[in-house]
Amino acid sequence: MNTMTSAPGGTREVTEDEIAAEWRERARRTGLRRVMRSSQPDSLNVGVTRQTRAVVTDQLALVAERLGRRPRHALEIGCGIGRLTPAIAAHAERVHAIDMTPAMLDQARATCRHLPAVEFACVRADRLRPPRERYDAAVCVWVLMHVLDESRLRDTCRVIAKSARHLTLIEYEHASVPVSKWSRLRTLEEYVRLLPGAEVVDERMVDYGGDRSFAALIAFGGQDA
């Protein structure tokens, strides 16, 4: 499918194929620049990565508290190069990590080759099939801001809400430099409206380089353990 997406200003248009090509291109960068702003110094990227892993770890500990046990099966949506995957694997018995960009997944598989409980798949988030048993936790970090088409975003949010009992969602809500044509800034409230049954149970900020992201732990209805 090659849906045309127009930016809020209505002037720029980006196709689904162009988005996929942009991610393939970003996967050719080196190190953390593949999944972070390429203009940022490496030291900032390393610091933010540490901070982000800590937030994901804290929120998975909250999920364990809510369930009264360690999460059994976790889903990582848009795992990129596997920057956060080992932190998720440390707090769940099994991890299913998906991304739509094969070269990102190659790197993630290499990063996680010592982690047999992690399996990867090349899947687009909106094509995910809800599992028979919902994941205890899903983690989605700086991915949905890159889903430009609003109806595609709605489908993606619906499928996530059906697939998981909890979701750690980290997305920019304020950027000091203009966001590129590949991103949309949305508030946590906007995402919550798109996620059926969502209740925010923990919220923090990830601030760096003048940018601000929310990091929310969202629970979905029907919390059968």
Ligand X SMILES: C[S@@+](CC[C@H](N)C(=O)[O-])C[C@H]1O[C@@H](n2cnc3c(N)ncnc32)[C@H](O)[C@@H]1O
d(CA 125, CA 162): 12
Q: Which helix (H) or strand (E) holds 212?
A: strand 211-220
Based on the shown chain and the rule CB under 6 A, indicate whether residue 124 belongs to the binding site for ligand X: yes
For residue 170, list its beta bridge partners: 141, 215
Examine residue 157 and tell whether it contacts ligand X (CB under 6 A). Answer: no
Q: Do 203 and 167 touch, CB atoms closer than 8 A?
A: no
State yes or no: residue 168 binds ligand X (CB under 6 A).
no
Q: Which of 14, 141, 161, 217 binds ligand X (CB under 6 A)?
A: 141
Chain position whose Cβ is nearest to ligand X: 80
- The answer to whether residue 80 forms part of the interface with ligand X (CB under 6 A) is yes
Under the binding rule (CB under 6 A), the answer on residue 143 touching ligand X is yes
* Options 6-14, 39-47, 59-67, 135-143: segment touching ligand X (CB under 6 A): 135-143
State the residues that interact with ligand X by CB under 6 A.
23, 35, 78-80, 83-84, 99-101, 104, 124-126, 141-143, 146-147
